[in-house]
Structure 1
Amino acid sequence: MDAARRPSRGTHVTSAPGTTVGAPDRAPLVPEGPPLAPARLARHARHLNLPGIGVSGQRRLAAARVLVVGAGGLGSPALLYLAAAGVGTLGIVDDDVVDESNLQRQVLHRTADVGRRKVDSAREAVLAADPEVTVEVHPVRLTAANALDIVSRYDLVLDGSDNFATRYVVSDATSIAGVPHVWGALERFRGQVSVFWSSPPQGHAPVTYRDVFPEAPAPGTVPTCAEGGVLGALCATIGSVMVTEAVKLVTGAGRSLLGRLAIYDAADVTWRELRVVADPTRPPVTHVAEPEVEACAVPSPARVSADAAISVLQLRDLLDSAAPPYVLDVREEFERDIVTIPGSVLVPAGQLLGPRGADALADLPTDRLVAVYCKAGSRSQRVVDAAHAAGRDNVVQVAGGVLAWVDDVDPTLSRY
């Protein structure tokens, strides 16, 4: 999942007034490329009659270099539609491998791709859609160390990443490079999309992701993937809007989302819009910063202190000892139906961290070790932190969660 979040209170967003639909608001981003061969003109014939695109716009798309950060839920439709639109060069940044749980929404990847690098699976899917697209893969996580070098090679960046640290890295790198930045995010039934640009065309004020979200969220304030979930088809809705914005920026067609934040609610099938303006108090971006925030997946090992965690191998041995621990599963019930550590008791993290969390924590045993696990470690870490804050020093995390149990203790069990 790619968790969305509401704009921070006090940031520079307001309700956007209605304007003339489709009026161009800037020059094309990319110069025209060489004339297109008849076969390419035939392939993209439905674009050639569109006002603002035409043959000239199609030549610009063919000459464009577009980077997509994340080959997951948003990156999947974005890459396929960018290729179908005739974008000449696509860059793909992703350091992950395909997991079976991705297939519900990440339509680039197939069952046969489980375990493969996402950039490799994505490259194959793009070339199957159009063999003439040049695909450049970057099988790395975008960080403060490499972001500016990678981003600077492209005309435009689409950020479909699934964690806040990467979003701030993308924002800072595109700000310094002066590259426009199309951003999208998802949570449950809601999606958000906007365009940011630190050096926009004349008539536009510079706006960045940091103008909407000045600071990263505190750990535990945004649901993890398994806690929140995401409607698979929502990826297509937001991903296609991101591609629409990319095509308009490259060709100069239509009015972009620059300075506007569009919010979609799939449960109600409604769109609303907020106006985004630059924060005059925000310091200029002079370097790429990498905030220390929780990602949507596995937490950094540095967050797990030695005296507050045990390994799955230690847990296995303790379960066979004369004084076995109380094993607490803080996932959701549907996750437990997929795989579980034998003998564990289910109490979802939401109950332990919610309004009545203190009562739920008080019900845990005090006469033996309480070993807490989730899928990979994020939720269990928050529960352990809450238990320690409440004075419970007999509560520890099972490092790596149930996925580590499958990997190191019982590989016959299912992964998700």
Structure 2
Amino acid sequence: MSTENITFSPAEYARYNRHIIIPEFGLEAQKKLKAAKVLVIGSGGLGSPVLLYLAAAGVGTIGIVDFDVVDDSNLQRQVLFGVEEIGKPKVEAAKQRLQSLNPHLNIITYNTQLTSANALEIIKEYDVVADGTDNFPTRYLVNDACVLLNKPNVYASIFQFEGQVSVFNYTNAAGELGPNYRDLYPTPPPPGLVPSCAEGGVLGVLPGIIGSLQANEVIKVVTGIGETLSGRFFVFDALTFEVRTFNIKRNENNPVNGKNPTVTALIDYEQFCGMKAVEKTIKEISVEEFESWREAGENFQVIDVREPNEYEEVNIGALLIPLGTVAENAEKIDKHRKVVVHCKLGGRSAKAIRELEEKHGFTNLYNLKGGITAYLQKTQQTV
């Protein structure tokens, strides 16, 4: 990217002074940031710190891809948003927050799901991609699009207490191309083996740590300072504070850019991974609504999809059908009245509802938000 015509106003010089006075950084690196166009895919747990720090650092053009809306369950880790943004499209809330942080930027929003139909068209306009997605179909999609377009892909992922960071498809100063996501993971894991953050949870501070490292790698890729994580895979354990870095290499059998590539265009990544990139929205009910139904004497059924030992420890009198047996016990669930499904926190029950809706045609199921834990907290009982 050319910096020949890049200039700064007095206000920008003052803002970026702490960058410019670093001998290894200087004015030229700051110009490169202003000239750069960075696409951030996902504005959630990882996207929040990435966007905040890239905007603060002075990346001139930032694109944001996200089709979700802000939910109160996001605020435990998505520090880009506040309670006043609940219900708003994330890209709109993100743009407003970033412009208040740094008005000298160009923020472009894409309130849409990234798919095989639009990925190349969107990504081709940017110099660097930061992948903050949370599902395998989109990770493979982003990787393949970046490889086909020759764009560096700064990758990060989080789950529970562990975070991972790397830089894929990066060409160094010597002209050597580094590995990409498919060199590390040629094929996705079996469907259901790796739970999502919605099902398994994530420590709220972890996305801040990993997302900041991801933003750091973006800045290094853009400016050319330091050594990027290209060819290396960084793993952080928040519980033990252990850090491991693995070396990764290009694989000549890589289907996208190996010796004999078989993927020369974007494919159906949901089919490839055996899972959906975006789960269908399910109906939910809050603890307060659940209690109001009970108090009003409404006729509805309650299903508990936890394990028997969890049920024995504490329950609210629901019919026990463990998640693994839901399909074979579908006939026990009433199709002619409202049915509230719950687990401990809401992840397993959401999975049960999706299975029942897709395979057995249920349309009357409601997920209890926060599960039995939220119910017991609201009613001041103990687990």
Q: Which band: TM-score by shorter chain?
A: 0.7 to 0.9
Matched AA of 1:69? I
Residues 224 and 297, structure 1, Cα contact 8 Å, conserved in 2? no
Aligned length: 334
Partner of 1:327: 303
User: Aligned equivalents of 1:256 and 1:276: distance in 2?
Assistant: 13
Using a 3 Å threshold, how does the CA distance of structure 1 residues 400 and 95 change in structure 2: closer, same or farther?
farther
Partner of 1:287: 265
User: Aligned equivalents of 2:331 and 2:50: distance in 1?
Assistant: 53
User: Aligned equivalents of 2:74 and 2:35: distance in 1?
Assistant: 32
User: Aligned equivalents of 1:199 and 1:400: distance in 2?
Assistant: 49
Matched AA of 2:265? H
Provide Cα deviations, 1:366-401, integer angstroms capped at 9, x if missing partner: 99448794547652168769xx9xxxx9x9796564
User: Aligned equivalents of 1:367 and 1:245: distance in 2?
Assistant: 52
Using a 3 Å threshold, how does the CA distance of structure 1 residues 369 and 287 change in structure 2: closer, same or farther?
same
Using a 3 Å threshold, how does the CA distance of structure 1 residues 212 and 372 change in structure 2: closer, same or farther?
farther
User: Aligned equivalents of 2:171 and 2:12: distance in 1?
Assistant: 33
Provide Cα deviations, 1:13-51, integer angstroms capped at 9, x if missing partner: xxxxxxxxxxxxxxxx66455132222111111111224
Does residue 231 of structure 2 align to residue 250 of structure 1?
A: no
Matched AA of 1:121? A
Matched AA of 2:208? A
Q: 1:153-164 to 2 correspondence within 5 Å?
A: 153-164=125-136
User: Aligned equivalents of 2:92 and 2:71: distance in 1?
Assistant: 14
Using a 3 Å threshold, how does the CA distance of structure 1 residues 366 and 133 change in structure 2: closer, same or farther?
closer
Q: Name which structure has the greater RCO, CA cutoff 8 Å, separation 6+.
A: 1
User: Aligned equivalents of 1:262 and 1:366: distance in 2?
Assistant: 44
Q: CA deviation at 1:225?
A: 2.6
Provide Cα deviations, 1:245-285, integer angstroms capped at 9, x if missing partner: 11111111000001111000010112110111111112234
Q: What SS is found at the alignment partner of 1:104?
A: coil
Query: Can you give the 5+ residue segments of structure 1 that lack an aligned partner in the other structure?
Result: 1-28, 302-315, 335-339, 354-360, 404-416
Residues 30 and 155, structure 1, Cα contact 8 Å, conserved in 2? no
**2:192 aligns with one of 215, 220, 237:** 220
Q: 1:148-227 to 2 correspondence within 5 Å?
A: 148-197=120-169, 201-202=173-174, 204-227=176-199
Q: CA deviation at 1:185?
A: 0.4
Residues 156 and 180, structure 1, Cα contact 8 Å, conserved in 2? yes
Provide Cα deviations, 1:66-109, integer angstroms capped at 9, x if missing partner: 00000100000100100110111100000000010000000111
Residues 70 and 88, structure 2, Cα contact 8 Å, conserved in 1? yes
Using a 3 Å threshold, how does the CA distance of structure 1 residues 49 and 127 change in structure 2: closer, same or farther?
same
Matched AA of 1:232? G
Matched AA of 2:253? T
Q: CA deviation at 1:223?
A: 1.6
Partner of 1:22: none
Q: 1:231-270 to 2 correspondence within 5 Å?
A: 231-270=203-242
Query: Can you give the 5+ residue segments of structure 2 that lack an aligned partner in the other structure?
Result: 257-262, 283-293, 370-383
Q: 1:14-53 to 2 correspondence within 5 Å?
A: 31=3, 33-53=5-25
Residues 77 and 205, structure 2, Cα contact 8 Å, conserved in 1? yes
Deviates more, 1:105-114 or 1:45-54: 45-54
Q: What SS is found at the alignment partner of 1:119?
A: helix
Q: CA deviation at 1:217?
A: 2.2
Using a 3 Å threshold, how does the CA distance of structure 1 residues 122 and 367 change in structure 2: closer, same or farther?
closer
Provide Cα deviations, 1:126-155, integer angstroms capped at 9, x if missing partner: 001011111000000100000000000001
Q: Percent identity?
A: 39
Matched AA of 1:328? D
Q: 1:110-121 to 2 correspondence within 5 Å?
A: 110-121=82-93
Using a 3 Å threshold, how does the CA distance of structure 1 residues 67 and 229 change in structure 2: closer, same or farther?
same
Residues 33 and 63, structure 1, Cα contact 8 Å, conserved in 2? no
User: Aligned equivalents of 1:150 and 1:367: distance in 2?
Assistant: 46
Q: What SS is found at the alignment partner of 1:182?
A: strand
Using a 3 Å threshold, how does the CA distance of structure 1 residues 193 and 165 change in structure 2: closer, same or farther?
same
Partner of 1:25: none
Residues 172 and 289, structure 1, Cα contact 8 Å, conserved in 2? no
User: Aligned equivalents of 2:44 and 2:267: distance in 1?
Assistant: 24
Q: What SS is found at the alignment partner of 2:205?
A: helix
User: Aligned equivalents of 1:366 and 1:58: distance in 2?
Assistant: 60
With structure 2 as the length reference, what TM-score do the two structures score? 0.76
Residues 33 and 59, structure 1, Cα contact 8 Å, conserved in 2? no
Q: What SS is found at the alignment partner of 1:247?
A: helix
Does residue 78 of structure 2 align to residue 102 of structure 1?
A: no
Using a 3 Å threshold, how does the CA distance of structure 1 residues 270 and 398 change in structure 2: closer, same or farther?
farther
Q: What SS is found at the alignment partner of 2:109?
A: strand
Matched AA of 1:191? G
**2:279 aligns with one of 270, 292, 298:** 298
Q: 1:308-387 to 2 correspondence within 5 Å?
A: 327-330=303-306, 344-345=318-319, 352-353=323-324, 361=325, 368-369=332-333, 373=341, 375=346, 379-380=351-352
User: Aligned equivalents of 1:37 and 1:200: distance in 2?
Assistant: 32
User: Aligned equivalents of 2:146 and 2:227: distance in 1?
Assistant: 21
User: Aligned equivalents of 2:331 and 2:53: distance in 1?
Assistant: 58
CA RMSD in angstroms comes to: 3.6
